[in-house]
A and B are shown apart, each in its own frame.
Chain A
């Protein structure tokens, strides 16, 4: 294991352990309001300062990490699997199947999903727990986020269909599902991984933006997305650089995962 991989492992371990130990590291929780300490800078009492309602930012980062690290990758996995099945299969089968799948994908892309999301919010009861609300949000993101990846995977799988090694396998009598799962799909892994990793930060930010429709994490529960929204206050960020911590964390975590897995592929190769 090289040094960078070790660092990546260590970072991920620290982040995951810290979020799991949030109850001990930040026993006062993410919702407690210290109304006498509004927007204070980092101090011994508040390691990352407090937000506009006097809530400890360090606690909110820890608890928010749980939500985002658990649900954003889950949503990304869902969308990647759907993209793989729809796009990958369509590309592998080719012909009318590919055309039909891409037509459905194009139709999916052209639909005004904003209205679906508004409808989803309208159908959801107003009195749902913040956890239920965020699970529904990430589920919707996962179900809606497969289309772009599907098109890429369709093209990739289509080109693999005529690759030499696939012809060789076919000549050796490999057919159907076996040909797809054993020979084609593994070669789509780089594309799948890339789509998966791209999706995670996209979904984290999308969750924050869905708050405008009443979806997303409900107050007072934090998420990386809701914490990143603090960066919208362009006037104050220059004076409060600690607000960048969730962004730095997001970048480091995503890079660490990417680094771990890209190194694994090099070893396998």
Chain B
């Protein structure tokens, strides 16, 4: 596939170029790293997005891939090689010249197994090393040991590092660079004076002088500060606050529709888990899981917990993922009577308001979720109430996140969990580490030596098939079937897809909130802030 353009992102309502000003918003947690290759948390990802220069960029509005530092690229037919033609005359923020050697250096660092780069994981397609060939200062080819599906789009997450700069990862190619970091307090990003990009009129980008990121974990405080005008935007707004702000200042809030994110419930299907064996039998039964799914009122979850700013989820992908979503799938209809009948046909019976299995064990299980997430706690309580109607008693337990993760990934000492998936990648390749039965994030039963069920074996086959194909149509067919199997087997009981909600002050110009992350500052280089 050959793509050659000098295209720039288009958006609605571009103002005349104004320079200067500082954009202020919050990071919800302390950034764990400024090394773009080690990013795995949201705060660090935001900083990488604002400071990192990438070869290509997924336009968050159109969801199309656009050139950045690469003027053109070509992916070989077998999906193993990608060649880039790079811009010339570009420098890092410290003045060090950018060339193909820096791309080669970055790829070598990225694929170094000792680094354990989460970004690199997406490129790992098979055993063997990645070869980089610098053809000229502006040409490079990268060859992988096995085909990598959606190879070009993966480079959206790869911020190029300088091989020669003494500043290491602090020498950047993005519109902003790190100015000051006060741990626990704030991160200041300053305009990169050497940023290569200009707007259509030839004005140098970014328009802003700086971006001030306060580290603020309390959403109430964030909201208050936004209302007082101390913050310019809230990138991800809770539905409760959205409604309150909309009631008084509707021009400030934006609902971009269903996001890529989902919330789901799953049962522990790990055979060696310490939970009672009879419960493992229930949880490993697809008909049990389907009955539970049918007994959950997703419309109420959307309406009550998210105030209507969510949609019942259908399967692993949200309808917002326009290309990959299997549009033939429909949301599970809530029917507690049908759910009870299905359980009864499986040998369960209702005795004095309590559902029991064929051995007389009362159907009681716990749902754990992370403390501090009001939406998940409320969803758990609603589900507790829904399942009580069919005689199932649920204990809701909220745990600190590290304890929850430990139970989920190491001790497997849990029965059911409610958590969410935040998808930053449209391509299903980004979820290989979830759907492959051998993967770490195959949450309900991870790291299987061989697939324990026929349907998991089929998903493995389909995921590998789509990963090794470069034909979008064949990949879509394979992943459509994966989505169908997931909906049939319900290893994840997908609950809802949240809407992408944000708030942007009227002093910010050129903001176009979208569903792909980062929703409000995806075009930070073109944002301007009017004087207050």
Genuine A/B complex: yes
The answer to whether A235 and B396 touch across the interface, beta carbons within 8 angstroms, is no
Does A261 count as interface, using CB distance less than 8 angstroms? no
- Contact partner of A235 (CB less than 8 A), chosen from B224, B368, B382, B398, is B224
**Least CB distance, B283 to chain A, in whole angstroms:** 14
Q: Which residues of A contact B398 (CB under 8 A)?
A: 211-212, 214
What does the 1/0 interface line of B221-253 toward A look like (CB < 8 Å)?
101100100000000000011001000000000
Q: Which residues of B contact A266 (CB under 8 A)?
A: none
The answer to whether A53 and B399 touch across the interface, beta carbons within 8 angstroms, is no
**Least CB distance, A256 to chain B, in whole angstroms:** 31
Does A262 count as interface, using CB distance less than 8 angstroms? no
- Contact partner of A53 (CB less than 8 A), chosen from B365, B381, B395, is B381
The answer to whether A220 and B384 touch across the interface, beta carbons within 8 angstroms, is yes
Given A213-B371, A236-B244, answer yes or no on A126-B395 (Cβ-Cβ < 8 Å): yes
The answer to whether A121 and B403 touch across the interface, beta carbons within 8 angstroms, is yes
Separation of A236 and B227 alpha carbons in the complex (Å)? 13
The answer to whether B396 and A38 touch across the interface, beta carbons within 8 angstroms, is no
Separation of A192 and B304 alpha carbons in the complex (Å)? 47
The answer to whether A219 and B381 touch across the interface, beta carbons within 8 angstroms, is yes
Residues 174-225 (chain B) with a chain A CB within 8 angstroms: 220-221, 223-224
Nearest residue (CB) in A for B375 is A52
- Contact partner of A220 (CB less than 8 A), chosen from B365, B366, B371, B381, is B381
Separation of A21 and B241 alpha carbons in the complex (Å)? 37
The answer to whether A54 and B395 touch across the interface, beta carbons within 8 angstroms, is no
The answer to whether B300 and A52 touch across the interface, beta carbons within 8 angstroms, is no
Does A218 count as interface, using CB distance less than 8 angstroms? yes
Q: Which residues of A contact B304 (CB under 8 A)?
A: 35, 38, 52-54
Q: Which residues of A contact B220 (CB under 8 A)?
A: 232-235
Count of residues in B whose CB is under 8 Å from the partner chain: 36
Q: Which residues of B contact A38 (CB under 8 A)?
A: 304
**Least CB distance, A204 to chain B, in whole angstroms:** 18
Does B359 count as interface, using CB distance less than 8 angstroms? no
The answer to whether A33 and B403 touch across the interface, beta carbons within 8 angstroms, is no
**Least CB distance, A5 to chain B, in whole angstroms:** 40
The answer to whether A214 and B364 touch across the interface, beta carbons within 8 angstroms, is no
Interface hub of B240, B371, B397 (most chain A Cβ within 10 A): B397
Separation of A211 and B399 alpha carbons in the complex (Å)? 8
**Least CB distance, B280 to chain A, in whole angstroms:** 14
Q: Which residues of B contact A239 (CB under 8 A)?
A: 244
Q: Which residues of B contact A118 (CB under 8 A)?
A: 400, 403
Does A122 count as interface, using CB distance less than 8 angstroms? yes
What does the 1/0 interface line of A112-149 toward B look like (CB < 8 Å)?
00000010011000111110000000000000000000
Separation of A212 and B403 alpha carbons in the complex (Å)? 11
**Least CB distance, A59 to chain B, in whole angstroms:** 15
Does A166 count as interface, using CB distance less than 8 angstroms? no
Separation of A163 and B398 alpha carbons in the complex (Å)? 52
Residues 35-76 (chain A) with a chain B CB within 8 angstroms: 35, 38, 52-54
The answer to whether A218 and B385 touch across the interface, beta carbons within 8 angstroms, is no
Does A11 count as interface, using CB distance less than 8 angstroms? no
The answer to whether A127 and B371 touch across the interface, beta carbons within 8 angstroms, is no
Nearest residue (CB) in A for B414 is A126
What does the 1/0 interface line of B354-382 toward A look like (CB < 8 Å)?
00000000001110100110100110111
**Least CB distance, B386 to chain A, in whole angstroms:** 10
The answer to whether B380 and A219 touch across the interface, beta carbons within 8 angstroms, is yes
Separation of A204 and B411 alpha carbons in the complex (Å)? 32
- Contact partner of B397 (CB less than 8 A), chosen from A33, A214, A232, is A214
- Contact partner of A213 (CB less than 8 A), chosen from B300, B381, B399, is B399
Q: Which residues of B contact A33 (CB under 8 A)?
A: 382, 385
Given A54-B304, A122-B403, A127-B364, answer yes or no on A219-B371 (Cβ-Cβ < 8 Å): no
The answer to whether B403 and A218 touch across the interface, beta carbons within 8 angstroms, is no
Does B269 count as interface, using CB distance less than 8 angstroms? no
Does A31 count as interface, using CB distance less than 8 angstroms? yes
**Least CB distance, A67 to chain B, in whole angstroms:** 16
Q: Which residues of B contact A31 (CB under 8 A)?
A: 385
**Least CB distance, A129 to chain B, in whole angstroms:** 8
Does B415 count as interface, using CB distance less than 8 angstroms? yes
Interface hub of B244, B395, B396 (most chain A Cβ within 10 A): B395
Separation of A226 and B300 alpha carbons in the complex (Å)? 23
Nearest residue (CB) in A for B380 is A219
Q: Which residues of B contact A122 (CB under 8 A)?
A: 403
Q: Which residues of A contact B364 (CB under 8 A)?
A: 127
Q: Which residues of B contact A220 (CB under 8 A)?
A: 381, 384-385, 396
The answer to whether B366 and A126 touch across the interface, beta carbons within 8 angstroms, is yes
**Least CB distance, B363 to chain A, in whole angstroms:** 11
Separation of A77 and B229 alpha carbons in the complex (Å)? 48
- Contact partner of B400 (CB less than 8 A), chosen from A53, A129, A213, is A213
10 additional A-B residue pairs with CB within 8 Å, beyond A126-B366, A219-B381, A235-B241: A33-B382, A35-B300, A38-B304, A53-B382, A126-B415, A214-B400, A219-B377, A219-B380, A234-B224, A235-B220
A/B interface sample: 20 pairs, CB < 8 A: A31-B385, A33-B385, A52-B304, A52-B378, A53-B304, A54-B304, A126-B395, A126-B414, A127-B415, A211-B371, A212-B371, A212-B398, A212-B400, A214-B397, A219-B380, A219-B381, A219-B396, A220-B385, A234-B220, A236-B240
The 4 A-B residue pairs with the shortest CB-CB distance in the complex, in nearest-first order: A126-B366, A212-B371, A214-B399, A219-B396
